[in-house]
Copies of this chain bind each other. A is one copy, B any other.
Amino acid sequence: MLAANAAFYDAFEAADLDAMSDCWEHSDRVVCTHPGWSSLRGWAKVAASYYAIFSNPSRQQLILTEPHVTRTGDTAWVVVDENLLGPAMGHTVAALNVFVRHEGGWKIVVHHGSGVVAR
């Protein structure tokens, strides 16, 4: 399950849309909420958002901290902090990824990220 989570972040760092596509369930029920964005529902909208993000030539590196996995049957979720390294200073995104087990492995059905405001 953590392997599926790692594959998601590897695809993000590599800006690899095919790899990102492999991580997600392709259905109408998937939801992705990028920091500051409205919730995007359905694989088509989610894929379009990653296409737009990956079209930006600047790549984002991240270091994951505080991963916690919870599993209930064929559903599991990972709560993790994404520490993004920028050219000037970094910032942290609190993230939640929900996975559902398929025959081919765990697929993401929800990703929700929100920027942590420095206090």
Which residue numbers of A lie inside 8 Å of B, CB to CB?
29, 31, 33, 35-39, 41, 66, 68, 70, 72-75, 77, 79, 81, 92, 94, 96, 98, 100, 109-110, 112-117
A109, B98: Cα distance in complex, Å: 12
Q: Which residues of B contact A74 (CB under 8 A)?
A: 72-73
A102, B74: Cα distance in complex, Å: 17
Q: Which residues of B contact A79 (CB under 8 A)?
A: 31, 33, 39, 41, 110
Interface of A, secondary structure class, is strand
Which residue from B36, B41, B73, B96 sits with its C-beta under 8 Å from A116?
B36
Give me 23 A-to-B residue pairs in the complex whose CB atoms sit less than 8 angstroms apart, sorted by A's number.
A29-B68, A31-B68, A31-B79, A33-B94, A36-B114, A36-B116, A37-B94, A38-B92, A38-B94, A39-B79, A39-B81, A39-B94, A39-B96, A72-B73, A72-B74, A72-B75, A72-B100, A73-B75, A75-B75, A77-B110, A98-B98, A112-B112, A114-B114
Q: Which residues of B contact A37 (CB under 8 A)?
A: 94, 116-117
